[in-house]
């Protein structure tokens, strides 16, 4: 979530204990490392998104990262109709990346070091400007090389979150409720209650965050958040949450 690693070691221990396979949704996790390893090296497979809204993109598309020759062969077959030339092995689909999308990726890739540096610097600007605001931030685990994919904040409650959205909108600033609703609340899912997820979905907001956003603009946006959220230390402030 937001490029922040979940507890991959605990999940690995559970999977080994029960003989389970682990597939990670790593859509936000481009270039994230945990304890010196690419985050996509954990589990049995990880899926990456290269949609235009992601840090690294090919306009549309993605990738699957696997760790065994057997799984690599099976994945290649699934994405290519289940056959190699005239040799047919299994059912499949046409999920190959086009040359045009690959060319976009090759054009974007050399710029990624600067993109990541720029986002890290902008995150510091926001963090300093919001240091006294009555908000919390998702906790990035220790020993994580983070990609600053988003700048999420959690307001004290849903009413404060809505107040910030409206105040920003009144000033021509669009902030998104990444992510809403909690998946167990989707109308086509018979989900059980998930109070942590539901609470986070109610309070979370992602501020505008992209390379090229002027520092003074980020501070101005933060000032609007500060005015609505109020100062830290008021009654009802929650402790930091690890949203992963």
Domain with 92, as residue range(s), is 8-110
Q: Mind listing the pLDDT tens digit for each residue in 91-128?
A: 999 999 999 999 999 999 999 999 999 999 999 999 99
Q: Where are the alpha helices (DSSP H) in the chain?
A: 8-18, 69-79, 99-108, 112-129, 158-170, 195-203, 215-229
Asked if 82 and 45 sit in the same domain, the reply is yes
CB 115 within 8 A of CB 211: yes
Q: Is the dihedral of CA 48, 187, 8, 55 positive or negative?
A: positive
Asked if 126 and 225 sit in the same domain, the reply is yes
Residue of 71, 66, 58, 57 lying closest to 28 (CA atoms):
57
pLDDT at 45: 97
Separation of alpha carbons 42 and 34, rounded Å? 9
Separation of alpha carbons 45 and 204, rounded Å? 28
β pairing state of 45-49 and 23-25: parallel
Is the pLDDT at 186 greater than 60, yes or no?
A: yes
Asked if 83 and 189 sit in the same domain, the reply is no
Question: Is pTM beyond 0.95 here?
Answer: no
Residue 189: which CATH number? 3.90.1150.10
The tokens for 115 are 């993109």
Residue of 123, 180, 110 lying closest to 150 (CA atoms):
123
pLDDT at 239: 36
234 confidence band (pLDDT: 50, 70, 90): low
Give the residue-averaged pLDDT of 129-147.
96
Asked if 167 and 213 sit in the same domain, the reply is yes
Residue 106: which CATH number? 3.40.640.10
pLDDT at 232: 86
Q: What is the mean pLDDT of the chain?
A: 93
Asked if 136 and 152 sit in the same domain, the reply is yes
Is the pLDDT at 243 greater than 50, yes or no?
A: no
Is the pLDDT at 236 greater than 80, yes or no?
A: no
Separation of alpha carbons 44 and 54, rounded Å? 23
């Amino acid at each position: 979530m937001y490029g922040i690693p979940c507890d991959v070691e605990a999940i690995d221990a559970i999977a080994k204990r029960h003989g389970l396979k682990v597939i990670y949704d790593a859509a936000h996790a481009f270039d994230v490392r945990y304890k010196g390893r690419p985050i996509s090296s954990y589990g049995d497979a990880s899926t990456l998104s290269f949609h235009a809204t992601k840090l690294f993109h090919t306009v549309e598309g993605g990738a699957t990262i696997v760790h065994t020759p057997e799984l690599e062969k099976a994945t290649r077959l699934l994405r290519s109709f289940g056959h190699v030339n005239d040799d047919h092995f299994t059912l499949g689909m046409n999920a190959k990346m086009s040359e045009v999308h690959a060319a976009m990726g090759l054009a974007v890739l050399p710029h990624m070091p600067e993109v990541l540096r720029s986002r890290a610097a902008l995150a510091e600007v926001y963090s300093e400007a919001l240091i006294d605001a009555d908000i919390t931030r998702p906790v990035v685990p220790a020993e994580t090389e983070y990609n600053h994919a988003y700048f999420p904040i959690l307001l004290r409650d849903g009413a404060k979150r809505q107040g910030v959205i409206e105040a920003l909108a009144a000033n021509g600033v669009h902030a998104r409720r990444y992510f809403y609703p909690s998946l167990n609340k989707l109308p086509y899912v018979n989900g059980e209650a998930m109070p942590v997820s539901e609470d986070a979905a109610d309070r979370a907001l992602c501020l505008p965050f992209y390379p090229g956003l002027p520092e003074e603009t980020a501070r101005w946006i933060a000032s609007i958040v500060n005015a609505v959220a109020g100062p830290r230390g008021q009654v009802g402030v929650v402790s930091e949450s690890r949203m992963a």
